[in-house]
Structure 1
Amino acid sequence: MSGKALQTLIALVVAGIWGAGLGLAHLRGDMWFIDRVEATMTDLRTVIRGQKPAPDVVTIVAIDDEAVSQTGSYPPARAKLAELIDAIAALKPKVIGVDTLLIDPGPAEGDQRLVQSLAKAPVVLAAAAVFPQGQQRTQNDAADPLSGVPDAERFLLPLPAFGDVAATGVVNVSTDRNGTPRLVPMLFKSGGDIEASFPLRVVSIAKGVEPAVEPGRLLLGDEIIRTDIGQGLPLSFYGTRGSISTISAADVLAGKLSRESIENRIVVIGTTVTGGGDVFPTPFDPVLPGVEVVSTAITHLMSGGALIRDHTVRLVDAGFAAALPVILVSLLAWRRNAIGLIAALCVVLAWFALNLAAFFNGVWLSAAVPLVAAIPPALAFGATQLWIGRRRAQHFAEQSKLLQQVQAPGLGNWLARNPDFLAAPVRQDAAVVFVDLSGFTGLSETLGPNATRELLNGFYQLVDEEVAASSGSITSFMGDGAMILFGLPASRPDDALNAAHCCVGLCGRTRAWLDALPEAVSSRIGFKVGAHFGTIVASRLGSGTRQQITATGDTVNVASRLMEVAASNGAELALSEEILRAAGENADPFKSGVLRGPLETRIRGRAGSIAIWLWRGKASDSARGQIEISK
């Protein structure tokens, strides 16, 4: 398995384990640490869905500012509450819910008056559950219908006199970390006691059925209510305050009450007075009265419309949590570029569209769990690939730099931009220069490998600098010499002149370099240079895995042999009539030395003779004497 494949496999395994772990925690309801993210995403989806009309099954009788002003007290006196219930009961509601705690005794006359009123109609009184540290703690067991039901320290129940004539229901709701009521638990327990919630008790009386409890759902007769962990009913808010039909208690006490608003309906009496404190923030209203929250739950139980999030929905969430990070990492590994990133983004957008569509249809799929499962592995994999890519790019840069040290920089750059360069041989005019150290082989036998290497490196450096300054290309270093081309990657009019500059510069630099060496070394070696101009065959030679750019042909052979001519005639440089003519017979480079010729000279291995010129620098003229030319 390649390194890249192994990296991808490890990333996929880690992403799958991470996602599956979060999905399992979500099934158990242990994702409190992302509760705020889910709350924000749920608010966003709710706002996008928009407000909707509430089914007309509940009427709220609000103890508002006007009612408190009229009665003169808050909370209202028991006698006034009894009067309010009497007026409502006279119009035959299905059930009256009183969303206010009656746990403390009041004036005996008022309490007695209220007991008499409670007996005139089906009434459900509010109770409250008290939890340790004020938090509802649940434990989930999918096989136990009462698993996860909020376990209270105790219940605050209405006074026994009231409880004897009316039913009770717990009004607690379950809020998220933003304080928004997301769920209304349908059942509460304390020790061995089980209490129904206020909405469930109201609806069971209104429907005339006793609720049955099963894992993940409640049965109200033939109707199935799908619930979340702890038998919680998810809320789907209708809009701002007043979305559920609301009447002021002041109007009821004043006799301004129509039969249509009460008869055969559920009526909930609750507080909306300013400063009453019983308010909650929701996506549509930052101060929605608590009575409207419980009335929303009652409406859901009566007419449907609650969000659905049960064990099955959580299983779907867990599936997305396990699959989404694997898919994203796979796409990023499939195309480690913009295509892979766009494909991953499309998958996320498709998932979000599916999530939004499900929410609009009343299915509460988690938005936070799959995102938290998918984003960290995708970011980690992407960051790792970016880091590896940068390391690889750095490695390639170092390799390219090394290649430029081995291959001619100009040719290497050209080949990088034009990969088909010299894929087929090319015939063209070029100037060819050879330079070589004489006597070096014998010297190297006594110097040893390290000293020989240092000596050659010094020579190669000066050759490289002179060639680069003259716009030439070193096609190869050959032992103690080099082959240089002027005319690649393309021929130029000044190739011959550039070669002339290079030849003279090489002679001067090499002479100075030799003079700087210890006498024991410099006295044993010299140098020679040959140059010719003509047609060459440039090509890439070698196998499919290793190729080198080089030039072949008669021009190359003549230039190489001209080094022998220079050496045999005591000159530093031997150049052909062709390169001198192409560079210009009065070329400036040669004015720094003595140029003699033309001389007809035979070249070893070649029929006939050619006209050549010999050159040496003025600095070496007195030391080496006059040139003797053999014809």
Structure 2
Amino acid sequence: MTRRVQIPVALVLTALWGAGIYAAHANGHLRFLDRLEATLTDLRTLARGVQAPPDLVTIVAIDDTVVKRGGSYPLPRADLARVVDTIVQFKPKVVAIDLLLVDRSAAIGDATLAHTLATGPMVLAAAAIFPSASDTVAPGSGGPLAVLPEAERFLLPLPAFADHADVGIVNVATGQSGSPLSVPMLFRTSDKVELSFPLRVASRALDKPLTIAPDHLMLGDRAVPTDTDFALPITYYGPRRTIRTVSAQSIFDGTLDRAAIENRIVVIGASVAGGGDFFPTPFDSLLPGVEVVSTAITHLVSGDGIVRDRKVHVADALAAILLPMLLVGLLAWRRSALGFIAAAVVMIGWAGLNLFAFTHGIWLNAATTLAAAVPPVAIFTGVQLWAGGRRTQYLAAKSRSLAQFQAPAVQEWLARDPNFLAKPVLQDAAIVFIDLSGFTTLSERIDPDELQDILKAFHVLIDKTAVDCGGMITSFLGDGAMILFGLPRAMPDDAARALKCSIELHRGVERWIASLPSATGDRLGFKIGAHFGPIVASRLGENHQHISANGDTVNLASRLMEVAAQNHARLALTDTLLDAADFHGAPDGVLSGPLLTQVRGRSGVVTVWFWRDQDRPSQASTRAEMID
């Protein structure tokens, strides 16, 4: 098959794959994509960040303070009546009670609450009971409401209460991650349809008639942006209490602020620890259910909800078909790095557009589009690489070249410049040496496997600290290491980063040794030396090359470990390094010195300082003892 035929066939197969993935997911299959979409939705929500909600709703929380005061939960009906009565006196738009008042209690308490409910605009919560743990949709019922979740029955408030209030179903729809992604606006049993609790509250607060159209809802003349199953997608403003929340205890204390209630929607609900009505959300692992419901109410009243309607689903379908075709077309257009770059730019552009749409109130599906795009692109890329021998040889040669170096930064630099350090380079750099004390003696006393574990943990600690500070480990020297700051190119902050690395190594190794069993940790110590100055950097070796740094700076940094040990210290620094790092002391450390000393194998005098943690006992001699 010629290339002229291969490309159209690949594009057609890619389009069919994308259409199949979208159709299968839309029809309730490929449920794993729901979990992926929930995760990606959480990430997009976090990327959007915390937002200030419209100041329309006040939550009156029956929290731990209230329960501790009353000594019982649920709240006695007489106490609930007092809460409602106080709120009504402050003239809210509507009072919504997110509590299931389905069981009888003390007669006087029920009578008091029923009387109080008649004094203001009220909405009470009811619940839908489904035949299984998840909402089900009855097939073949016909009509636009056939897509609604069908409940076995509704758990309604007692008639004595319901006679004085509107009633709405309070169930929410959680994704596979457990986070509520939408709130159904309509519920049905075999013989009736009920409005959701948030929809009842919003309709009452806006004083607008509700219209149920075949594919959408209307509150007055404004469309409610529901999904195709009449569910309201929700996106969270922030962690708990982002929506104005006051404790019901303020009512019992007489401290409730009238401004928090007057002309507002007031939602009374429980946020009692251990009460069970909590949900994980992107901003909070335990968001009270009353705040989830209040989020939906705010969306309905303000119109700031996220849109995931029929038009958005059409856009999702087009993306699932066209994006994979475009990516495959770009890869076929240029069988080179240019094609990959173009495809990557398109993917980044799509991801940016998806995130931009989400942060501006349009929820485009990400998981389905990824599932439609990634496999065809991966397969096409694999086939192209398999068929292109020259390309494969190039990648193999590149891989072998990069494998000669340990540091990721050097690998990236070498990819741009294969001749990097082919000739020696003279430059300034910072060098840090670290070495364990007592390791040789310890190795004679403990099991080889245990010794290997100790050495491995030590190396991991050094590697992480060096990478975090932007350094490059040029070699592990058994129970020590050399870290270089200045490659692949010298940077103005090389000395500062080396100083930070030295201090972090001091703290990290000290904590690590303290965590070891006393039989091991008591035998170990460490020493660190750090210096800044000119080095000669080059790459040595033939079949296996490595970065090498040589010169007086390297030798002096190594000898500083001896100076530290001789002066009962753990970290020795030269004044050259401190000057280059522009170090003026730190509030969490103590710098002792200077010590004017000679270093073995080197003529002249070196000015050395010793650093230790401020909250640690002194590890260096006094200034008088240190000066020669």
TM class by shorter chain equals 0.5 to 0.7
- Give the secondary-structure state (helix, strand or coil) at the position aligned to 1:177: coil
Letter in 1 for 2:320: A
The whole-number CA distance in structure 2 between the counterparts of 1:161 and 1:57 is 29
- Give the secondary-structure state (helix, strand or coil) at the position aligned to 1:146: helix
What per-residue deviation string (whole Å, max 9, x for no partner) do you get for residues 489-547 of structure 1? xxxxxxxxxxxxxxxxxxxxxxxxxxxxxxxxxxxxxxxxxxxxxxxxxxxxxxxxxxx
Map 1:412-491 → 2, pairs under 5 A? none
- Give the secondary-structure state (helix, strand or coil) at the position aligned to 1:324: helix
CA 1:167–1:346 in structure 2 vs 1: closer, same or farther (change >3 Å)? same
Give the corresponding residue for 2:323: 324
Contact 2:385–2:391, Cα closer than 8 Å, also in 1: no
Contact 2:169–2:194, Cα closer than 8 Å, also in 1: yes
- Give the secondary-structure state (helix, strand or coil) at the position aligned to 2:224: strand
Give the corresponding residue for 2:60: 61
Deviation, structure 1 residue 141: 10
CA 1:385–1:277 in structure 2 vs 1: closer, same or farther (change >3 Å)? same
Give the corresponding residue for 1:249: 248
Map 1:219-618 → 2, pairs under 5 A? 219-390=218-389
CA 1:135–1:335 in structure 2 vs 1: closer, same or farther (change >3 Å)? same
- Give the secondary-structure state (helix, strand or coil) at the position aligned to 1:134: coil
Letter in 2 for 1:178: S
Give the corresponding residue for 1:153: 152
Deviation, structure 1 residue 143: 9.8
Deviation, structure 1 residue 23: 2.7
- Give the secondary-structure state (helix, strand or coil) at the position aligned to 2:176: coil
CA 1:5–1:306 in structure 2 vs 1: closer, same or farther (change >3 Å)? same
Contact 1:34–1:368, Cα closer than 8 Å, also in 2: yes
What per-residue deviation string (whole Å, max 9, x for no partner) do you get for residues 375-426 of structure 1? 00010111122223359989xxxxxxxxxxxxxxxxxxxxxxxxxxxxxxxx
The whole-number CA distance in structure 2 between the counterparts of 1:227 and 1:304 is 11
CA 1:251–1:338 in structure 2 vs 1: closer, same or farther (change >3 Å)? same
CA 1:140–1:391 in structure 2 vs 1: closer, same or farther (change >3 Å)? farther
- Give the secondary-structure state (helix, strand or coil) at the position aligned to 1:120: coil
The gaps in structure 1 that reach 5 residues or longer are: 395-631
TM-score by length of 2: 0.60
The whole-number CA distance in structure 1 between the counterparts of 2:18 and 2:139 is 20
Contact 1:142–1:216, Cα closer than 8 Å, also in 2: no
The whole-number CA distance in structure 2 between the counterparts of 1:147 and 1:226 is 19
CA RMSD between the two structures: 2.0
CA 1:216–1:88 in structure 2 vs 1: closer, same or farther (change >3 Å)? same
The reply to whether residue 178 of structure 1 matches residue 177 of structure 2 is yes
The whole-number CA distance in structure 1 between the counterparts of 2:389 and 2:214 is 54
CA 1:393–1:241 in structure 2 vs 1: closer, same or farther (change >3 Å)? closer
Letter in 2 for 1:23: Y
CA 1:139–1:347 in structure 2 vs 1: closer, same or farther (change >3 Å)? farther
The gaps in structure 2 that reach 5 residues or longer are: 394-628
**Identity among equivalent pairs (%):** 52
- The runs of at least 4 aligned residues of structure 1 exceeding 4 Å deviation read 26-31, 139-144, 390-394
The whole-number CA distance in structure 1 between the counterparts of 2:251 and 2:4 is 75
Contact 1:16–1:322, Cα closer than 8 Å, also in 2: yes
- Give the secondary-structure state (helix, strand or coil) at the position aligned to 1:133: coil
The whole-number CA distance in structure 2 between the counterparts of 1:107 and 1:391 is 85
- Give the secondary-structure state (helix, strand or coil) at the position aligned to 1:296: helix
Contact 2:225–2:306, Cα closer than 8 Å, also in 1: no
What per-residue deviation string (whole Å, max 9, x for no partner) do you get for residues 541-600 of structure 1? xxxxxxxxxxxxxxxxxxxxxxxxxxxxxxxxxxxxxxxxxxxxxxxxxxxxxxxxxxxx
Give the corresponding residue for 1:207: 206
Letter in 2 for 1:66: T
Question: For this pair of structures, how many residues does the alignment match?
Answer: 393
The whole-number CA distance in structure 2 between the counterparts of 1:223 and 1:25 is 33
The whole-number CA distance in structure 1 between the counterparts of 2:142 and 2:362 is 22
The whole-number CA distance in structure 2 between the counterparts of 1:73 and 1:45 is 40
Deviation, structure 1 residue 310: 0.3
Deviation, structure 1 residue 26: 4.8
Give the corresponding residue for 1:118: 117
The whole-number CA distance in structure 1 between the counterparts of 2:235 and 2:227 is 14
The whole-number CA distance in structure 1 between the counterparts of 2:242 and 2:28 is 31
The whole-number CA distance in structure 2 between the counterparts of 1:171 and 1:41 is 26
Letter in 1 for 2:376: P
Contact 2:225–2:305, Cα closer than 8 Å, also in 1: no
The whole-number CA distance in structure 1 between the counterparts of 2:133 and 2:141 is 25
Contact 2:126–2:154, Cα closer than 8 Å, also in 1: yes
Deviation, structure 1 residue 257: 1.6
Deviation, structure 1 residue 137: 2.2
Contact 1:59–1:247, Cα closer than 8 Å, also in 2: yes
The whole-number CA distance in structure 1 between the counterparts of 2:308 and 2:209 is 23
Deviation, structure 1 residue 28: 4.6
TM-score by length of 1: 0.60
